[in-house]
Structure 1
Amino acid sequence: MALAPGETSDTFIREVDENLRRDQAEAVFKRYGSWIIAAAVLLLVAVGGLLFWRSQQAQQAAANSEQFSSILTEVGEGKTSDDIARKLDVLAADSNGSMSGAARLTRAALALQKSDRATAITQYRTLMDDGDVPQTVRDTASIRLTQLEFDSLQPQQVIDRLAPLAVKDSAWYGSAGELTALAMIKANRRREAASLLTGIAADKNVPPSLRARAEQLAAGLSIPAAPAAAR
């Protein structure tokens, strides 16, 4: 094929290549065009659905937060009626994650105020084993449940349950450590209990009241802890 005046071989090859690519693209579109369009529509629908779902979730979370705040206000005013308990149950069912956990922890606390230990224990036990709530909520439930069940549990059951929390890098070191030490005392493992209590008394991250109590308990075992006041 002769070249047009002023046309180089490179220009000619590029034009041929572009025409070939265009012809191939048209052939592909003719063959798969409907599938390409359908895939694009599905992608748009999926993205739109995701954005809508996130918007709905945000609105629901805001509504749940307002409802929980309102319930806490009622509790602060001394209202501990069955109506509040029902509201908390509904909120726990309609929400998830930390909000559901907070509602259920509050429900358990209200049950204890009414001396309803059975309901509180049920709430704490189900929370402790619920993988859908944050670990902090599960840990809180574990501590509260152990406090309620302490007298009915074998010492080793307490020690095993609280083992992940009765360590220095845990936010629950003071509370879990104290319960663990008391279980060790019941099991006649006094030296281990004293060592744990001494560690609690010396840890500045533990609340002062817990540190002082740990010091007193260790002193009662005739194995002195470092004075909390000196720290």
Structure 2
Amino acid sequence: MSDDSFIREVNEEFRQDQMKSLWRRYGALAVGIAALLILATASWVGYDYWSTSRANQAGDAFAQALELADEGQTEEALAALEELETSGYGDYPMLARLRAATLLAEAGRYEEAVAKFDAVAANGSAPAAIRDLANLRAGLILVDHGSYADVAARVEALTDDDNPMRHTAREALALAAWKEGDRENALALFEQIIDDPRAPSGTRQRAEMMSELIAGSASESG
């Protein structure tokens, strides 16, 4: 046997002895870690399947509720949406509440609609844009079915210059002010819309028309 072969055999035996020693010392730990990794992987796969399945079920239920609404079956749609509000998964309870609020408003059940929108607006886990939208929708209903204070409580925070919903929020506040006879406040709010270069053309046209109407009515009464 050559010296190289002998050295290789000694090294091999040495490595085997090391492996046996390491296994005796850490074998149980290694098995435990492997078992934990397998369990964690299985748990994640199971959770992902469960989550996807629930999301799909909720999505199907939401689509069915929308179909009922489109077919004019309002009460059936509201019942389906209410079920989703309590047992839905992911974002579907919030979407169901928003859609139910819209259906209630269309049916003339304004207090219930506002309550639904308020619930979405108060949901701290909902995206800020969705909460703002819910406040705006409630405010628009309350222009005709509430007071200026009711509208302001929901949309005044949306009138900031950097808020993308400011134009409609200002319009809602202006209409509510005009409804209560506060012409000065109404005119000031409509002027904000007119002077905003980013205001949609339709919103600006309505603001101009209302400003002329209010100014004309003021001159006639004077």
**TM-score surpassing 0.5?**
yes
Structure 2 counterparts to residues 75-94 of structure 1, below 5 A:
75-81=69-75, 83-94=76-87
Q: Contact conserved, 1:167 with 1:177, CA < 8 A, in 2? A: no
Does residue 39 of the first structure (1) align with residue 39 of the second (2)? no
Counterpart among 165, 177, 180 of residue 170 in structure 2: 177
- Offset, 1:129: 1.0
For the residue of structure 1 that corresponds to 2:204, the secondary structure is helix
Q: Contact conserved, 2:123 with 2:131, CA < 8 A, in 1? A: yes
- Offset, 1:162: 3.1
Does residue 105 of the first structure (1) align with residue 105 of the second (2)? no
Query: How far, CA to CA, are the matches of 1:172 and 1:117 in structure 2?
Result: 22
Counterpart among 191, 196, 199 of residue 192 in structure 2: 196
- Offset, 1:119: 1.8
* One-letter identity of the residue aligned with 2:137: R
Q: Contact conserved, 1:98 with 1:134, CA < 8 A, in 2? A: no
Counterpart among 33, 46, 52 of residue 46 in structure 2: 52
Structure 2 counterparts to residues 147-166 of structure 1, below 5 A:
147-150=140-143, 151-154=146-149, 158=152, 161-166=154-159
* One-letter identity of the residue aligned with 1:198: I
5+ unaligned residues in a row in structure 2: which ranges?
A: 216-222
* Length-normalised TM-score, structure 1: 0.71
- Offset, 1:50: 1.4
Give the count of matched residue pairs. 207
Query: How far, CA to CA, are the matches of 2:122 and 2:27 in structure 1?
Result: 51
Alpha carbon RMSD of aligned pairs, Å?
A: 3.5
Per-residue CA distance 1:40-87 (angstroms, 9 max, x = gap): 212222222212222222222222222222221221111112x32221
- Offset, 1:192: 4.3
Counterpart among 62, 66, 72 of residue 68 in structure 1: 62
Q: Percent identity?
A: 20
* Length-normalised TM-score, structure 2: 0.73
- Offset, 1:177: 2.8
Q: Which residue of structure 1 lines up, in the alignment, with residue 208 of structure 2?
A: 215
Q: Contact conserved, 2:82 with 2:96, CA < 8 A, in 1? A: yes
Does residue 139 of the first structure (1) align with residue 137 of the second (2)? no
* One-letter identity of the residue aligned with 1:131: G
Q: Which residue of structure 2 lines up, in the alignment, with residue 116 of structure 1?
A: 109
Distance change in 2, residues 1:41/1:210 (3 Å): same
* One-letter identity of the residue aligned with 2:110: R
- Offset, 1:126: 1.1
Distance change in 2, residues 1:187/1:127 (3 Å): farther
- Offset, 1:143: 0.6
Higher helix share: 2
